[in-house]
């Protein structure tokens, strides 16, 4: 009997121990360890990323440049997919079996357990027929997104475009971006990505075994709200931009217009341009491929990436430096015979025209090459030919104060520096001490190695309009409701020229338009001060260049126009600039005494011959390759010479020193 009771207590104890163990395990699973709860809820709850709309971009007057339209991506989580009718699914999405297989393999390769895009950018209209049936295919669901739309199809190179984030973007973002996310690729979309993209949200939904949504989880208590990207207000005037693109159609070149009193860019035209709507939607890749293969390079952002010889538009800057340095006076005269002799070189005036006796103002008005060659030679030789390099270094520093030869730090990516050559460059070409003012005389008239972007040319006009300073150019004037711009854009950048020297130069620039080389572009009732340029071009005919500001008193606009392969600045660039200036100042364009019209210049075709253009590009690339090879050879030669010198020095240090040995012997003999 006692044995029976003892066994009963043992068995009872075992059962109690088992029950307590199970209860403890259940407590641990349900209360302490939340892994199992997570696994369970994943079967009924799915988190959907809520993508915010990107911020809209407006012009300076509040008109929309870019906004958003809704689209849908069909997402897939491979492990959740159940057997289904692939033919019906392909018909639903409008794809074939091969297309389905490619998408499926890509999704599996990305991750069987994570969702990824299966079919992207389905329009709202098309999605209406898909929406009712997509829940029949377990593992697939629709994700609402937005894409950009451009109501006026202008300013493509300014606005840029968005595209899918690449692996490098995802890595740099520390996990913010995922496969299928969109990111700014070029233009303002890239420069202000962090502002425009907004903040993603998360919505937790109850789903059934087929993935169909059955309502919000916990009444949205664990959801986060997506925050729309900030609105950007640009400095562009959309009406001015439209006119500029109209005038530059069927031409290669650029227009940049700036407000001198603020540095705000009013027009930012790059030609050829493209419809930015082509970079949105399912045909984006095909459209981009065509434009990348276009030899005229529509993706090339000419306002800030093209580098041109400024030609005669550089002459007012030369005059200002010479006045500041007391090299010339405004009243001093020079007799132009039609050419200038610099050493054994002849510098002809345009078309060999002899200007006779000219002072500084008439030299600017008639664009006398001889006068400015004389000025340049005086600057570099004022201390004697022996000190040419030192004087050139000073001259170069003065030129760079105007914003040439360095980036202006525009609030856009991919800005070029232009080029103001260094003494080292000429040392490498002609050897040290082997060059003089006459050797590089082409710099006097804005040619040779001197290069500037259209942005830099327009900024130079702002400096002259402001009598000695400029504000750094910029394209965004407000973020959201705040007029937030970088502090550096509100700072005056002085160029080291006394204000008194600007008036005589501006007199000459006014005469350019009143009765000089640009008289056909005179605007009735508006005093415009400008300078024409005919800049030599390695690819065919010279570039037509014109820079200006207006009105003379209290200037409101400064402008630079370059029309490639179009000859003299007075013929093409100056009339185009005059239309832009009058449109901005008056809001309309009035008839001109010269008879020039917007329609004539808008409809004219100045595109260079495609075959010759492609051939010239090929030759230029070959020249660049040869220069690169030469540069590499020079570097290698210098490196080898340094190594050889080092070996000789080491060898000499290791040789016995006879004089030292002799002294040592004398000491030993004592």
For the cut 90, the answer to whether the pLDDT of residue 212 exceeds it is no
In whole angstroms, give the CA distance from residue 37 to residue 41.
6
Mark whether 253 and 327 lie in a shared domain: yes
Q: Which residue, of 200, 234, 268, is where some domain finishes? A: 234
Classify residue 41: in a domain, yes or no: no
Return the biggest CA–CA distance within the chain.
143
Instruction: Flag the least confident range among 199-203, 404-408, 547-551, 582-586.
Output: 199-203
Q: Residue 358 in contact with residue 516, Cβ under 8 Å?
A: no
Q: Residue 162 in contact with residue 184, Cβ under 8 Å?
A: yes
Classify residue 669: in a domain, yes or no: no
Residue 588, classed as helix, strand or coil, is: coil
Residue 9 burial (10 A CB sphere; 0-12, 13-18, 19+): exposed
Q: Residue 430 in contact with residue 449, Cβ under 8 Å?
A: no
Mark whether 108 and 172 lie in a shared domain: yes
User: Is the preceding omega at residue 464 within 30 degrees of 0, hence cis?
Assistant: no
Instruction: Please list, in sequence order, all residues whose beta carbon lies within 8 angstroms of the beta carbon of residue 451, skipping any fewer than 6 positions away.
Output: 307, 308, 309, 310, 418, 419
What φ, ψ does residue 347 adopt, rounded to 5°? -105, 105
Q: Look over the chain and give the mean of its residue pLDDT values, rounded to a whole number.
A: 87
Range of the domain at 217: 46-234
**pLDDT at res. 643:** 62
Classify residue 458: in a domain, yes or no: yes
Please give the share of the chain, as a percent, with pLDDT higher than 70.
Answer: 86
Q: Which residue, of 234, 256, 275, is where some domain finishes? A: 234
**What phi-psi label fits residue 596: left (phi over 0), alpha (psi between -120 and 50 degrees) or beta?**
beta
Classify residue 307: in a domain, yes or no: yes
Instruction: Flag the least confident range among 213-222, 244-253, 489-498.
Output: 213-222
Q: What is the pLDDT of residues 33-70, one digit of tens each?
A: 555 554 455 557 777 778 899 999 999 999 999 999 99
Please name which of 516, 462, 526 lies closest in space to residue 492, comparing C-alpha atoms. 462
Beta strands in 339-471 (DSSP E): 339-342, 345-348, 356-358, 469-471
Please name which of 365, 381, 280, 257 lies closest in space to residue 322, comparing C-alpha atoms. 381
Give the CA-trace dihedral at 177, 181, 187, 188, to 10 degrees. -70
Residue 228 burial (10 A CB sphere; 0-12, 13-18, 19+): middle
Query: What's the angle, vertex CA 617, arms to CA 615 and CA 620, rounded to 5?
Result: 110
How many domains, the chain? 4
Taking residues 320-329, what's their average pLDDT? 95
**pLDDT at res. 388:** 94
Q: What is the pLDDT of residues 616-667, one digit of tens each?
A: 556 655 655 655 555 555 555 555 656 665 565 555 555 444 333 333 333 3
Mark whether 516 and 644 lie in a shared domain: no
Alpha carbon 570 to chain centroid distance?
Answer: 29
Q: What is the pLDDT of residues 586-626, one digit of tens each?
A: 999 999 999 999 999 999 999 988 766 666 556 655 655 65
For the cut 80, the answer to whether the pLDDT of residue 135 exceeds it is yes
Classify residue 39: in a domain, yes or no: no
Mark whether 227 and 274 lie in a shared domain: no
Classify residue 667: in a domain, yes or no: no
Classify residue 40: in a domain, yes or no: no
What element of type H or E holds 258?
A: strand 253-258
Give the CA-trace dihedral at 260, 261, 267, 270, to 10 degrees. 40
- pTM of the predicted model as reported, rounded to 2 decimal places: 0.83
The H-assigned helical ranges of 228-368 are 238-247, 284-292, 302-305, 315-324, 360-365
Taking residues 543-564, what's their average pLDDT? 97
Q: What is the pLDDT of residues 146-166, one digit of tens each?
A: 899 999 999 999 999 999 898
Mark whether 125 and 269 lie in a shared domain: no
Mark whether 481 and 338 lie in a shared domain: yes
Mark whether 176 and 287 lie in a shared domain: no
Counts of helices then strands in the chain (DSSP H, E) = 23, 22
Instruction: Please list, in sequence order, all residues whose beta carbon lies within 8 angstroms of the beta carbon of residue 142, skipping any fewer than 6 positions away.
Output: 72, 73, 74, 75, 127, 130, 131, 134
17 pLDDT tier (thresholds 50, 70, 90): confident
The answer to whether the Cα torsion of 647, 629, 306, 572 is positive or negative is: positive
Mark whether 75 and 134 lie in a shared domain: yes
Classify residue 668: in a domain, yes or no: no
For the cut 80, the answer to whether the pLDDT of residue 585 exceeds it is yes
**pLDDT at res. 50:** 82
Q: Residue 580 in contact with residue 257, Cβ under 8 Å?
A: yes
Q: CB atoms < 10 A from the CB of 218, how many?
A: 10
Q: Residue 366 in contact with residue 355, Cβ under 8 Å?
A: yes
**pLDDT at res. 507:** 97
The answer to whether the Cα torsion of 626, 630, 631, 635 is positive or negative is: positive
**pLDDT at res. 660:** 34
**pLDDT at res. 662:** 31
Instruction: Please list, in sequence order, all residues whose beta carbon lies within 8 angstroms of the beta carbon of residue 143, skipping any fewer than 6 positions away.
Output: 48, 49, 51, 72, 73, 74, 75, 117
Taking CA atoms, 255 is separated from 46, 303, 562, 615, in Å, by 52, 7, 7, 26
Residue 297 burial (10 A CB sphere; 0-12, 13-18, 19+): middle
Residue 489, classed as helix, strand or coil, is: helix
6 pLDDT tier (thresholds 50, 70, 90): low
Please name which of 236, 237, 240, 258 lies closest in space to residue 248, comparing C-alpha atoms. 240
Mark whether 539 and 638 lie in a shared domain: no
Alpha carbon 649 to chain centroid distance?
Answer: 50
Taking residues 96-107, what's their average pLDDT? 93
Mark whether 149 and 293 lie in a shared domain: no
In whole angstroms, give the CA distance from residue 551 to residue 526.
6
Q: CB atoms < 10 A from the CB of 491, how many?
A: 12
Return the higher-pLDDT residue of 50 and 438. Answer: 438
Give strand pairing partners of 559: 257, 548
Mark whether 259 and 351 lie in a shared domain: yes
Taking residues 75-91, what's their average pLDDT? 92
Q: What pairing do the DSSP bridges indicate for beta strands 57-58 and 232-234? A: parallel
In whole angstroms, give the CA distance from residue 313 to residue 667.
77
Mark whether 331 and 305 lie in a shared domain: yes
Taking residues 343-367, what's their average pLDDT? 91
What φ, ψ does residue 346 adopt, rounded to 5°? -110, 125
**pLDDT at res. 657:** 43
Instruction: Please list, in sequence order, all residues whose beta carbon lies within 8 angstroms of the beta carbon of residue 347, skipping any fewer than 6 positions away.
Output: 339, 340, 341, 369, 370, 373, 441, 442, 444, 445
Taking residues 420-446, what's their average pLDDT? 95
For the cut 80, the answer to whether the pLDDT of residue 302 exceeds it is yes
**pLDDT at res. 65:** 97
What element of type H or E holds 509?
A: helix 502-514
Residue 264, classed as helix, strand or coil, is: strand
CATH number at residue 251: 3.40.710.10
**pLDDT at res. 296:** 92
Return the higher-pLDDT residue of 389 and 615. Answer: 389
**pLDDT at res. 659:** 32
Please name which of 87, 285, 247, 107 lies closest in space to residue 180, comparing C-alpha atoms. 107
**pLDDT at res. 663:** 30
CATH number at residue 171: 3.90.1310.10
Please name which of 420, 319, 324, 331 lies closest in space to residue 374, comparing C-alpha atoms. 319
In whole angstroms, give the CA distance from residue 217 to residue 44.
9
């Amino acid at each position: 009997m006692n044995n029976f009771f003892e066994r009963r207590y043992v068995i009872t104890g075992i059962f109690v121990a088992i029950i307590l163990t199970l209860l403890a395990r259940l407590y641990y699973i349900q209360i302490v360890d939340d892994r199992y709860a997570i696994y369970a809820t994943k079967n009924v709850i799915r988190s959907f990323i809520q993508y915010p709309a990107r911020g809209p971009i407006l012009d300076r007057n509040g008109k929309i440049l870019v906004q958003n339209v809704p689209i849908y991506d069909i997402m897939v989580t491979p492990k959740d997919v159940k057997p289904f009718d692939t033919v019906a699914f392909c018909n639903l999405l409008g794809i074939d079996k091969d297309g389905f297989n490619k998408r499926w393999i890509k999704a599996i390769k990305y991750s069987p357990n994570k969702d990824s895009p299966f079919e992207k950018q389905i329009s709202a209209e098309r999605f209406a027929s898909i929406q009712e049936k997509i829940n029949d295919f377990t593992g697939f669901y629709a994700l609402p997104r937005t894409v950009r739309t451009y109501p006026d199809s202008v300013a493509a190179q300014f606005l840029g475009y968005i595209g899918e984030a690449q692996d490098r973007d995802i890595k740099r973002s520390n996990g913010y971006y995922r496969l299928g996310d969109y990111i700014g690729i070029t233009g303002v979309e890239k420069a202000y990505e962090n502002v425009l993209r907004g903040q993603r949200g998360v919505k937790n939904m109850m789903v059934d075994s087929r993935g169909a949504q059955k309502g919000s989880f916990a009444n949205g208590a664990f959801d986060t709200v997506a925050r729309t990207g900030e609105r950007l207000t640009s400095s562009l005037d959309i009406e001015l931009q439209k006119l500029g693109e109209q005038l530059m159609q069927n031409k290669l070149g650029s227009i940049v217009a700036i407000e001198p009193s603020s540095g705000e860019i009013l027009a930012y035209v790059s030609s050829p341009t493209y419809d930015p709507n082509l970079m949105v939607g399912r045909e984006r890749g095909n459209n981009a491929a065509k434009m990348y293969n276009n030899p005229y390079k529509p993706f090339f952002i000419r306002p800030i990436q093209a580098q041109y010889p400024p030609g005669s538009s550089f002459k007012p800057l030369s005059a200002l430096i010479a006045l500041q340095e007391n090299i010339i006076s405004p009243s001093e005269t020079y007799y132009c015979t039609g050419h200038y002799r610099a050493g054994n070189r002849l510098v002809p005036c345009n078309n060999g025209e002899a200007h006779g006796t000219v002072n500084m103002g008439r030299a600017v008005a008639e664009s006398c090459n001889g006068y400015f060659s004389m000025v340049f030679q005086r600057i570099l030789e004022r201390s004697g030919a022996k000190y040419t390099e030192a004087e050139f270094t000073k001259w170069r520093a003065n030129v760079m104060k105007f914003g040439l030869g360095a980036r202006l730090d525009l609030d856009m990516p991919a800005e070029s520096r232009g080029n103001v050559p260094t003494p080292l460059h000429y040392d490498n070409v002609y050897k040290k001490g082997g060059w003089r003012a006459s050797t590089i005389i082409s710099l006097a008239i804005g040619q040779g190695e001197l290069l500037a972007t259209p942005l830099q040319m327009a900024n130079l006009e702002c400096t002259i309009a402001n009598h000695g300073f400029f504000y750094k150019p910029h394209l965004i004037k407000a973020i959201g409701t705040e007029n937030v711009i970088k502090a550096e854009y509100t700072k005056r950048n002085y160029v080291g020229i006394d204000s008194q020297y600007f008036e005589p130069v501006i007199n000459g620039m006014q005469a350019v338009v009143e009765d000089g080389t640009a008289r056909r572009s005179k605007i009735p009732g508006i005093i415009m001060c400008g300078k024409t340029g005919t800049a030599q071009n390695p690819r065919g005919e010279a570039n037509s260049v014109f820079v200006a500001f207006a009105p003379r008193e209290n200037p409101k606009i400064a402008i630079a126009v370059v029309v490639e392969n179009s000859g003299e600045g007075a013929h093409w660039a100056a009339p185009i600039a005059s239309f832009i200036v009058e449109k901005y100042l008056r809001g309309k364009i009035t008839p001109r005494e010269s008879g020039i019209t917007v329609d004539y210049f808008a409809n004219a075709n100045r595109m260079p011959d495609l075959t010759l253009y492609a051939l010239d590009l090929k030759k230029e690339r070959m020249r660049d390759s040869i220069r690169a090879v030469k540069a590499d050879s020079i570097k290698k030669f210098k490196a080898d010479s340094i190594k050889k010198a080092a070996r000789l020095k080491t060898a000499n240090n290791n040789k016995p020193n006879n004089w030292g040995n002799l002294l040592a012997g004398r000491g030993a003999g004592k």
